[in-house]
């Protein structure tokens, strides 16, 4: 039986909404994250603020979401996401870290890879590195801790009081 355009639109909508919901589940595991939908403003999905005692710290990152129906390995996730990572530069300039979350629907597994990775050079300078290939890793509580600590360290390395 051939799929109709309505079937394909429903599948795309389902993947997008389910990925949003799964990302919300992951992000709400930490009480120091506050996030909002920015899809219409930026083309990305969530702007995530790191907070301390329910107050903004000036540290934030953005998430782009993708999803697939069937379970995948990290290697297969890299293959699936390669076009998304390669075309990311076309979304426009971003001046803060951007992470891609990828969820599979049948097993609710999450993966992440950086699009604009926050790094600190050997000289101690903060830099955003635009990734040209995905490097997917499983998205679990430890991975989320790593993402948040990496983003925080990057902001801490900014000159002056740029992080708030």
Q: What is the pLDDT of residues 17-35, one digit of tens each?
A: 999 999 999 999 999 999 9
Number of domains in the chain: 1
Tell me whether residue 161 is in a domain: no
Question: Which residue spans within 18-123 are E strands per DSSP?
Answer: 33-37, 46-52, 55-68, 98-104, 110-120
Tell me whether residue 162 is in a domain: no
Round the average pLDDT of the chain to a whole number and report it: 91
- Reduced to 3 states, what is the DSSP secondary structure of residue 86? helix
Give the CA angle between residues 41, 67, 146 to the nearest 5°: 80
Return the half-sphere exposure (C-beta side, CA atoms, 13 A cut-off) of residue 4. Answer: 3
Tell me whether residue 20 is in a domain: yes
| Residue range of the domain that includes 39 | 5-156
Query: What is the rounded CA–CA span in Å between residue 102 and residue 111?
Result: 5
Tell me whether residue 109 is in a domain: yes
What are the phi and psi torsion angles at 56 (to 5°)? -60, 145
Q: What is the pLDDT of residues 130-150, one digit of tens each?
A: 999 999 999 999 999 999 999
Tell me whether residue 164 is in a domain: no
Tell me whether residue 163 is in a domain: no
- Reduced to 3 states, what is the DSSP secondary structure of residue 137? strand
- CATH number for the domain spanning 130: value is 3.40.1350
Structural tokens at position 78: 């890299």
Q: What is the pLDDT of residues 109-134, one digit of tens each?
A: 999 999 999 999 999 999 999 999 99
pTM attached to this predicted model: 0.90
């Amino acid at each position: 039986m051939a799929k109709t355009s309505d079937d394909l639109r429903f599948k795309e909508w389902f993947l997008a909404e389910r990925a949003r919901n799964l990302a919300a589940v992951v992000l709400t595991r930490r009480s120091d994250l506050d996030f909002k939908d920015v899809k219409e403003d930026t083309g990305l999905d969530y702007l995530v603020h790191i907070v301390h005692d329910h107050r903004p710290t000036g540290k934030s990152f953005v998430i782009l979401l993708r999803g697939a129906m069937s379970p995948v390995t990290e290697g297969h996730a890299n293959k699936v996401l390669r076009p998304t990572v390669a075309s990311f530069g076309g979304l426009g300039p971003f001046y803060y870290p951007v992470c891609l979350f990828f969820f599979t629907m049948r097993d609710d597994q999450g993966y992440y890879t950086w699009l604009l990775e926050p790094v600190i050079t050997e000289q101690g300078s903060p830099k955003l590195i635009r990734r040209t290939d995905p490097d997917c890793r499983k998205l679990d509580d430890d991975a989320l801790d790593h993402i948040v600590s990496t983003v925080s360290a990057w902001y801490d390395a900014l000159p002056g009081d740029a992080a708030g």
